[in-house]
Amino acid sequence: MRIVIAGGHGQVARLLNRRLADSGHTVVGIIRNPAHTADVVASGAEPVVLDLEKVSREDVAAALDGADAAVFAAGAGPGSGPARKWTVDRDACVLLAAAAAAAGVRRFVVLSAIGADDFDPSLDDDFEVYLEAKSAADAAVRGSDLDWTILRPDGFTDKPGTGKVTVGETVARGSIPRADVAASIAAVLTGNLAVRRQFEVTGGDTPIDEAIGAL
């Protein structure tokens, strides 16, 4: 498969790049900062410098040409302020989905966040804005005609992956190694699992393919 990952320099994305590349897939990482090129190459992906806050749908569709799947794993990041939560966590995701549709790339996977729909709009807080932006992006993707999957992990850690998770429409709050998030996305892509499904995922006791395949 040829898989294009927006946010290709992110911590989860680089783990995903390596996992997919080592399995024989071609991975393209969309990045905003040219200084991240070497890191993306080292993780097994082909870098494409494209600022999703500034480019057109046609520009992004060109980067998706010939792809079998697209993954949105970008994020404004901590300390970015509320404005960029909207322009990256919501708008860039919506843009990538629209570009995927234009390019004929039907398989579309979103790395979202647990509790995204539980935001409190009365709170003037960057994290609540982040959740609201993620919720809006997820809703837009669910409303598309793409073969989408939306993963909502909780509590990233840098512990070694276990290869086991808990998944469900809602799950008890916990934590999950970034490596297991990457493995879950890879399973969704390569196994064509959880098509047009949204689910939460944390660490657990069930092998990833089995857990996601049972949704």
- Residues annotated as catalytic are 130
- Contact (CB, 8 A) for 134 and 151: no
Those residues with Cβ within 8 angstroms of residue 43's Cβ, 6 or more apart along the chain or in another chain: 8, 13, 14, 15, 17, 18, 21, 29
Tell me how long the chain is: 215
Cα–Cα distance measured from residue 69 to residue 100, given in angstroms and rounded to the nearest whole number: 8
What residue type is assigned to position 212 of the chain? Answer: I
Cα–Cα distance measured from residue 76 to residue 125, given in angstroms and rounded to the nearest whole number: 15
Q: Give the N- to C-terminal CA distance of the chain in Å, as an integer.
A: 23
Give residue 215's Cα distance to chain centre. Answer: 19
Residue 117 DSSP one-character state:
G
**Strands ordered across the beta sheet of 197-203:** 46-49, 26-31, 2-6, 69-72, 107-111, 147-153, 197-203, 164-168, 206-207
